[in-house]
Chain A
Amino acid sequence: MGQLFAVEVIYRGVFQKTLAKNITRDIVLAAHNEGKLGISFGRYGDAPERNGIPAKSFAIVAKDEQTLEAGMAQYEPKQVDLTVVLDDTLCKGTESWAWYGLQPVHHALKPGHTLIVVSRDDAPGLLKNIHRREEPYKLGILKGITSFSGMWVFKDDHTDVRVLGAIAKALPELFSLESVEQFITEKLKNPLKVTSARNAYERFGTTDVKPGQGNPEELFKFTKPDWEDMRGGVSIKGQPQGGPYADPTTGKVGGFRPARNELFKKYSTRTQRPVINFSTCTKCTLCWLNCPDASFDVTPDGTYDANLAACCGCGICEEVCPVKDCVHMVNESEFHGNDSQWAAFKKDKDAYLKWLETTIEKAEPIEKRSHGFRYRGQYQEQVPEALEIAKKG
Chain B
Amino acid sequence: MATLTIPVEQKKKGSEQEALITGAEAIAIACKLANVDVVTAYPIRPYDTVMQYISQLVADGEMDCEYIVAEGEHSQFEIVKHASACGARTFCGSSGVGWMYAMEALTVTPALRIPLVAMVGNRALDDPGAFGVEHNDALAVRDLGWMLTWVDSAQEALDTALIAYRVAEDRRIFVPLAISCDGAFLTHSQALVQIPSKEQVKKFLPAYNRGDLLLHPDNVISVAPQVNEDWVMEIRRQNFGVTEIACDVIREVYADFEKTFGRKYGNPFFEEYMTEDAEVVLLGMGTLSTPVKVAIRKMREQGKKVGFVRLRWFRPFAGKEIGKCLERFKAIGVLDRDFSFGSPDLSGVVATEVRSAMYSNSATRPPVIGFIGGLGGREVTVPDVEAATEIIFQAAKGKAQPLTQWIGLRG
Contacts and interface: CB of A to CB of B under 8 A. Distances in A.
Interface stretch (A64-72, A136-144, A227-235, A373-381): A227-235
B2 interface: no
B359 to A, nearest CB: 29
B223 A234 contact: yes
Contact of B213 (A224, A235, A238): A235
Decide if the interface of chain A is mainly helix, strand, loop or mixed.
loop
Given A230-B238, A233-B113, A240-B220, A45 B213 contact: no
Interface in B190-243: 212-213, 220-225, 227-231, 233-235, 237-238
Interface string A214-240: 000000000011110011111111111
A233 B112 contact: yes
Contacts of A230: 231, 234-235, 238
A98 interface: yes
B189 to A, nearest CB: 39
A100 B231 CA distance: 12
Contacts of A45: 228-229
Contacts of B230: 98, 100, 224
Given A45-B229, A233-B113, A238 B221 contact: yes
B112 A237 contact: no
A98 B221 CA distance: 18
B111 interface: yes
A235 B223 CA distance: 4
Between A98, A227, A235, the greatest number of chain B beta carbons within 10 A of the residue's beta carbon is seen for A235
- Contact-residue size bin, chain B (C-beta under 8 Å from the other chain): 20 to 34
Contacts of A240: 220
Interface in A225-282: 225-227, 230-240
A235 B174 CA distance: 14
A33 to B, nearest CB: 34
A237 B225 contact: no
Interface in B374-388: none
Contacts of B113: 232-234
Contacts of B225: 234, 236
A107 B293 CA distance: 70
Interface string B227-263: 1111101110110000000000000000000000000
B221 A236 contact: yes
Contact of A233 (B213, B220, B231): B213
A227 B234 CA distance: 5
Interface string A54-95: 000000000000000000000100000000000000000000
B220 A235 contact: no
A220 B22 CA distance: 62
A112 B224 CA distance: 43
Contacts of A75: 229
A45 B227 CA distance: 9
B70 to A, nearest CB: 23
B374 to A, nearest CB: 38
B228 A98 contact: yes
B220 A238 contact: yes
B234 A226 contact: yes
A366 B322 CA distance: 72
Nearest to A238: B220
A234 B220 contact: no
Contacts of B222: 235-238
A232 B230 CA distance: 16
A98 B112 contact: no
A236 B219 CA distance: 11
Given A45-B228, A98-B228, A226-B234, A234 B221 contact: no
Interface of B: 111-114, 174, 212-213, 220-225, 227-231, 233-235, 237-238
Closest 5 interchain pairs by CB? Answer: A238-B220, A227-B234, A233-B113, A45-B228, A227-B237
17 contacts: A230-B231, A230-B235, A231-B212, A233-B111, A233-B112, A233-B223, A234-B113, A234-B224, A234-B225, A234-B235, A235-B112, A235-B213, A235-B222, A235-B223, A236-B225, A237-B222, A238-B221
Interface of A: 45, 75, 97-98, 100, 224-227, 230-240
Given A98-B230, A224-B230, A226-B234, 6 more contacts: A230-B234, A230-B235, A233-B174, A234-B112, A234-B223, A238-B222
